[in-house]
Amino acid sequence: MTGFQGQITLDGPSGTGKSSVARAVAARLGAAYLDTGAMYRAATVAVLDAGVDLDDAEGIARAVTAATIEVGTTAGAELVQVDGVDVAERIRGVEVTRSVSPVSAVPAVRRRLVDQQRALVAAADAVVVEGRDIGTVVLPDATVKIYLTAAPEVRAQRRAGQLGLSRPEKIAALAADLRRRDEYDSNRADSPLRPAADAVVVDSTDLDRDQVVDRVVEIALSAVGAGERS
Ligand code: DC
């Protein structure tokens, strides 16, 4: 045991390596892990399957309210279900990725998922929660708040590496897509992407994943007075 109890919020734009950092931090601290992006992605599956137009906010709200969305909180054992069907793979596909921003901008969708997020967090003694608005809206009283960022070009390079792409025009297209999503998420009226006033901003532009994990674990342990562990 590392002695960490409480909530660590990990917010920031896409492509910062947030998910893999969040999972590794949870594993190091023996904490639960909640991927709130997976919940918005699962909600998007419900909307797509209901055949609702992405301009129809009311239809989106109805489709999401009618669906049963379930996510697990164990790092390394991803459980994501919509109406009892496993959608863990489907939520990572292009169709969902392309449609998730308008779904997550609908206030009724956010209210519904935020309630569910708070209930899941309340059930854990120690938890790492990853998203965009966790430190600002979902858990304003969290023990530790981290905002993870990195230069867009570096984020696009990392994403390209994961996808096995190396052509400069492909990387430029990825960078443009990341900028478009950041812009949308940062400018939406409800719960825009931004660091909480009391968040520690960690810039991973010049750090590798392990260095970021070390830094977050160190911040978390010093926040609860548990000191550094070797
Ligand atoms: O982290 P991700 O790429 O899986 O998130 C998918 C989308 O969901 C992203 O476009 C922003 C949105 N999202 C959100 O609005 N609020 C959160 N707490 C998490 C994700």
Residue 70 CA to ligand 1 centre (angstroms): 16
State which H helix or E strand residue 129 sits in. strand 126-131
Residue closest by Cα to atom 5 of ligand 1? 37
Closest protein CA for atom 6 of ligand 1: 37
User: What pLDDT, on a 0 to 100 scale, did the predictor assign at position 62?
Assistant: 98
Per the structure block, which two tokens stand in for 175? 């960078």
Q: Which residues form the domain of 56? A: 35-123
Q: Encoding tokens for residue 197?
A: 């006033």
Instruction: Among 36, 39, 98, 132, say which to mutate for ligand 1: greatest number of ligand atoms within 8 Å of CB.
Output: 132
Given a cut of 50, whether residue 94 has pLDDT beyond it is yes
Sheet-wide strand order for 126-131: 32-35, 126-131, 6-11, 144-149, 200-203
Domain stop point among 67, 96, 123 = 123
- Given a cut of 90, whether residue 3 has pLDDT beyond it is no
Q: Are residues 84 and 111 in the same domain?
A: yes
Q: Is the pTM of this model over 0.85?
A: yes
Final residue of a domain: which of 70, 98, 123? 123
Scan for tokens 């792409």, then name that residue. 165
Question: Does 113 share its domain with 138?
Answer: no
